[in-house]
Structures are given as structure tokens and as C-alpha cells.
Amino acid sequence: MRVVIVGSGFAGSILARVARVAGHDVTLVERGSHPRFALGESSTPLAAIALERLAARYGLDDLHALAACGRWSARVPELRRGLKRGFTFYRHARGRRFDNDQSNRNRLLVAASPNDAVADAHWLREDVDAFLVQRAEAAGVRYLDRTVLDGLERRAGRFHPSGARRGAAVRLEADLIVDASGPGGFLARQLGLETALPRGALRTGLVYGHFRGVQPLRRVAGAGAAFPAGPYPDELAAVHHLLDEGWMYELTFDHGVVSTGFVIEGAETWRSIAERPPAHAFHALTRRYPSLAAQYEAASPVRPVAAMARLQRRSSRAAGEGWALLPHVLQFWSPLFSTGIAWSLLGVERLGLLLEGGAGPAAAGGDRLTAGLERYDALLRSEADHLRRLIEPAYRRRDDFAAFDAWVQVYFAAASFSEARQRLCPAPRECGGEWAWSGFLGATDPVLVRIVAEADRFLDQRPREPLLGAMRDLIAPRNLAGLADPARRRLYPADLDALVAAAGLLGLTTDEIRAGLPRLRGEPVAGD
Ligand SMILES: Cc1cc2nc3c(=O)[nH]c(=O)nc-3n(C[C@H](O)[C@H](O)[C@H](O)COP(=O)(O)OP(=O)(O)OC[C@H]3O[C@@H](n4cnc5c(N)ncnc54)[C@H](O)[C@@H]3O)c2cc1C
């Protein structure tokens, strides 16, 4: 089959290689060239699982290396990355230095891994994406960089994208065309897909950059601010600073560069900030929070500070006959919770499965592919809705750290339950025995979907205090990680004892779960 993939971010390049391994004729089209800067850097355990599955299924050892920070540093040290042990949250008060006490009034740490070796990584996308496109070429993918496609015709059941490369006309033919162009949205435009942003949806803009010389918050916080020892050093994480205007992320790379972005909520607030050039807007924002100002006082940008007016987008469909959008084309909502890499890899896995065994003429595997694309479309759209339901309530509660803390427990329950289930249990029949077809972050798990709806209602009405204890009751059927425990004082390690104690939630005995624990670290156990 002829497969054309538009866009060579990591997702397009990995899919191109997977399709090639499955025996297809693959063309990967990129309007720019590598190496190039890209946002979307902080990976998660669900991304690691998808990478490991792709590595095992298609013999792509490099993806296995990228799935854990220890393997990455040992096997592809030339690709820059940052150690990511978890998720750190701070609540700041405008005009005052960051303050905190022993109960972590304004601080929350949730570990995503038990140690550095199996931890996640922040991906320096410039390096990772360039590496993956080279790997795709080495696998026999035809790679056309600096190619601008501006036309798409459909004739005799095939797509014919056309455009130009370095002044010469380009005409391609595709039995399947995949849009991996992220915000570029090539197919969405060519097919005239409607945008499906709900009325009143979250609206955020972004001011961002990469910096050297950033001080960790711990060194510059208020004199009396306490930082009781947590499960990992605060800054080796995706760090979230909650602010009146929105929030700021910080991702620290091992070579000392920090990726920082202010996510600003609301059209009015955005206008008032974005009326200045991005670098001025960045400094104006840090000056409102003295500890942030101190963090960035001696920092210098390694690339120009830039801005994006609106992050949210949503297309009405994800796939149809002979075409598909990768997740990051269908929807982007927010960098909060770092969901993008894992979701994109799930999309790659699913399309890879659909392309298996269909290397002959289009008609041979056509019906199966068409049915598969319908399933892909429905699943991706329901996941997009689910992601919004997980993310938007966090924005609504960021002014009140107790309510925010209570809400994020729902997200971490969804993430840790999905991770442990996929690592420790066989894929259920409704997924056709493939975990890739299970709903992202519990999107198709009725229990989790109910928990999300009830937790949101509960926090709106607040019929019970304290919130955290009540949230613990609500998330109990999906709480494998000892979450929402007031005794933890907002410091959550990766707690294997809690997991073993909750074995029954996965339908396992404590012996079964103990025997499977190596799998949590991506290691096989006897019989795998
Ligand atoms: C501010 C921000 C922060 C984020 N943070 C995180 C995070 O911390 N963790 C996380 O997991 N996710 C994050 N994401 C999401 C993450 O960026 C995406 O999930 C990820 O980039 C998707 O990868 P991709 O390969 O599908 O697309 P992209 O990375 O968007 O790559 C698309 C490629 O297509 C090319 N292209 C575009 N248009 C065309 C065209 N017409 N023709 C040919 N080529 C084209 C582009 O040049 C680019 O190379 C973030 C996103 C944003 C916006």
C-alpha cells in the first residue's frame, strides 16, 4: 500500500518506520527541515509503555532506549534529555515571595517513577525528532523535507497530494494519507473539516522560551519557606507554578537548559500581556511574582522568547476512508499533565496495527482498514472529550490549592491505574487483545468516567470537608497508588506497597502482583 505521512515530528517519523516495517511504500513529507525547535517535551509512564510496545513489536530498539531515562543516557547519550521523576506543583501569591510550611500548604509532589534509571525524560525535541527522522530514512522511508503541499485530490479511491520542493513540483499518490502535522493541520484544511471547539471552552495563550542560568525555586523562595524532603528533588520533574493569570511550566534538561512557558488563561488577560513583545511579556510576568523574578534574574534565553495566541484546537473528525489525523492534529487542549506525547504514540500504535498485514493492493485490506479507521475515529474523539474533562476542572481550581490538589488526584488515579493495568494485566477482549485500543487515561473505562464526573460535581458543591479525604473515597475504585492521603502531606512517592495492597482492584492476588512487579520497570518476568 502507498502511505503518505504529512509532518515529521516524532509521531510522523515513528509511524513512517512502523508502516515501512509492515511492508508498505512510505513517503514522509516535512515542510521544514531537521534539526528544528519543537514544543511538547515532557514524557510520562504511559508514553514509555507505548514506546516499549512499539519497540518490541517492530524491532525498534532505539524506542526501547528512549522509554527510560537510564537506558536513554546509556544508549543514545548524544540525544539531549532531562531526568523527570514526577510532577511538582507550587501555588504562588502575586507580589509575595513563595512561601510554604511543613504541611506543604503551597506545594505538591507526585512521583511517576521509583528511581532515576526507570524514570521518564524530558525530550529535547530538536535532537529526538532529527534522530527519529534519520532512523525512518534508514529503514527505507522516502523523506521529503522542505516540501510544501498545497493541493489534495481524490481520484479512483486514492489521494493525490501535490505541492513543491525546492522549486520542483511534487505529486504523490496515497492509499492512506496520515496528517501528522500537529498544529499545521494539513488534512483538516484540505478536507474542509470543521473546527469543533465547544462554546466557552478554555482559552489560553503561551509565552515561552529556553533559558540558561535559571535558579531552582528552592534557592530563592521566601526566607521561612519550608521544603520538607520529597520523593525526588523538586526540579527533576515537570514543574508547575500556579499563578493568578494561569500557570508556568519548567522542564530542566541535563545540560542546564530550562524550557519555560507561561500559560495565560482568558482572552482579556492574554490581550493585556501580549500587547508587548514576548520577551517583555515574559519579564513582566516574572516581576509579578518575586520568587519567579529571582529565579530568572540572571537567566539568559538560548533562543528568542516567543508567543502563541491560542493553544486550543479541535477538529470535528479524526479519520475517514483512506485518511487519518494523528491525535495532536485532532485536538490540543493544554500542556497541563503532559498528555500529548503518550496520546500521540497511542495514535501511532493504532495506525500501525491497522497497517499490519495490509501491504498488498489497497482493495485487499481495504475493508478491514476502513472499519479500523472508523474505530480509530470514534475512539480518538471520545478520548479528546475525556482529556478536556480531566484538564479543564484543574484550571477552574487553580486559585484554591486544596481544591486543585483534590482534583489532580483524579488525574493521577487515572494515569497510575492505566499504567499498572497495562503493565500487569493482559489486554481485555474488547481491545482485541491489544492495549493500544484501550481508551487513553481511562476514556473508555465507565468507572473512571463516572469518577471524573462525580469528582467535578463534588468540588463544585463541596458538600464535605476536608476535600482530600472525600476525594479519596471517590477515587477508591481506581486508586492503586495511595493517592489522596492526607497523611502524605502532599508528597507522593511511587508506592509499590500501596499497589500490592490494592491488587484486588486489578483482579489480581497480592502474589500475582508481586511476581509482576519487574514489568512495572519495563523488565520481563519468567513466562513473558
Ligand atoms: C505549549 C505546549 C506544551 C506541550 N507540552 C507537552 C508536554 O510537556 N508533554 C507532552 O506529552 N506533550 C506536550 N505537548 C503536546 C506535544 O507537543 C504533542 O503531543 C507532540 O508535539 C505531537 O507530536 P507530532 O509529531 O504529532 O506533531 P508535531 O510535534 O507538532 O510535529 C509536526 C511536524 O509537522 C510539520 N508540519 C506542519 N505542517 C506541515 C505541512 N503542512 N506539511 C508538512 N509538514 C508540516 C512541522 O514542521 C513538524 O515538524 C505540548 C504542546 C504544546 C503546544
- Cα of 40 vs centre of ligand 1, distance in Å, is 6
Question: What ligand 1 atom has the least distance to the C-alpha of 327?
Answer: 26
What is the arrangement of strands in the sheet containing 168-171, beginning at the earlier edge strand? Answer: 147-155, 158-165, 168-171
> The C-alpha cell of 300 is what?
539568559
- Could you tell me the distance, in angstroms and rounded to a whole number, from the CA of residue 235 to the centre of ligand 1? 24
Provide the pLDDT for residue 358.
56
Burial annotation 47-68 (CB, 10 A radius, 16+ → b, else e): bbbbbbbbbebbebebbbbbbb
Name the percent of the chain lying above pLDDT 90: 92
Pocket test for ligand 1, best of 339, 344, 351, 383 (most atoms within 8 A of CB): 344
For residue 84, the tally of other CB atoms under 10 A from its CB is: 27
pLDDT, averaged across the chain: 95
What is the atom index within ligand 1 of the atom nearest the CA of 122? Answer: 8
- Could you tell me if 14 and 345 are in contact, meaning their C-beta atoms sit under 8 angstroms apart? yes
Q: How far is CA 2 from CA 6, 16, 20, 21, 189, in A?
A: 13, 11, 10, 13, 22
Q: What are 349-408's pLDDT values in tens digits?
A: 999 999 997 544 444 467 889 999 999 999 999 999 999 999 999 999 999 999 999 999
Q: Where are the beta strands (DSSP E) in 96-187?
A: 107-111, 120-123, 142-144, 147-155, 158-165, 168-171, 176-179
Q: Measured from the CA of 208, which atom of ligand 1 is nearest?
A: 1
Nearest ligand 1 atom to alpha carbon 186:
41
State the pLDDT at residue 184.
Answer: 86
Q: Based on the number of CB atoms within 10 Å of its own CB, is 528 exposed (0-12), middle (13-18) or buried (19 or more)?
A: exposed
**Which has the higher per-residue pLDDT, 361 or 172?**
172
**135 alpha carbon – ligand 1 mean position (Å):** 19
37 Cα: distance to centroid of ligand 1 (angstroms): 10
Atom of ligand 1 nearest to the CA of 34: 49
Q: Which pLDDT score is estimated for 365?
A: 60
Question: Considering only CA atoms, which residue is closest to atom 29 of ligand 1?
Answer: 9
Mean pLDDT of 109-119: 95
Q: Give the amino acid at 145.
A: D
User: Residue 1 Cα, ligand 1 centroid: separation in angstroms?
Assistant: 26
Instruction: Give the predicted TM-score (pTM) of the model.
Output: 0.97
Q: State the average pLDDT over residues 166-191.
A: 95
pLDDT tens sequence across 393-427: 999 999 999 999 999 999 999 999 999 999 999 99
* Dist. CA 437 → ligand 1 center (Å): 22
Q: Whose CA is nearest to atom 19 of ligand 1?
A: 340
Number of neighbouring beta carbons within 10 Å of residue 302: 14
What is the distance in A from the centroid of ligand 1 to the CA of 29?
Answer: 15
Among 214, 209, 388, 391, which Cα is nearest to 296's?
A: 214
- How far is it, in rounded angstroms, from Cα 496 to Cα 466? 26
- With a Cβ cut-off of 6 Å, ligand 1 is lined by 6-12, 29-32, 38-42, 149, 180-182, 184, 186, 206, 261, 311, 326, 328, 332, 335, 338-341, 344
pLDDT band at 348 (very low <50, low <70, confident <90, very high): very high
Half-sphere exposure of 196 (CA within 13 A, CB side): 17
Instruction: Spell out the domain ranges in the chain.
Output: 1-80+124-199+313-389, 82-121+203-308, 400-528
**C-alpha cell read off for 242:** 500556579
Residue 361 pLDDT? 46
- State the distance from the centre of ligand 1 to the C-alpha of 400, rounded, in angstroms: 31
**Distance between Cα 395 and ligand 1 center (Å):** 22
Per the document, the length of the chain is 528
Among all chains, which residue has been given the C-alpha cell 503518505? 4
Q: Is the dihedral of CA 30, 34, 40, 45 positive or negative?
A: positive
Question: Where on the phi/psi map is residue 374: left (φ > 0), alpha (ψ -120 to 50), or beta?
Answer: alpha
pLDDT confidence tier of residue 517, bands split at 50, 70 and 90: confident
Indicate the SS3 state at residue 137.
Answer: helix
Mean pLDDT of 143-161: 96
| Element containing residue 259 per DSSP (H, E) | strand 258-265
Q: Are 156 and 320 in contact (CB under 8 A)?
A: no
Q: Answer left, alpha or beta for residue 522, where phi above 0 means left and psi between -120 and 50 means alpha.
A: left
pLDDT, tens digit, for every residue of 323-334?
A: 999 999 999 999
* pLDDT at residue number 363: 47
Which CATH number does the domain 82-121+203-308 belong to among 3.30.70.141, 3.30.9.100, 3.40.50.1980, 3.40.30.10? 3.30.9.100
Residue nearest to atom 31 of ligand 1 (CA): 9
Torsion angles phi and psi, residue 68, rounded to 5 = -140, 135
Q: Which fold has domain 1-80+124-199+313-389?
A: FAD/NAD(P)-binding domain (3.50.50)
Mean pLDDT, residues 198-212 taken together: 96
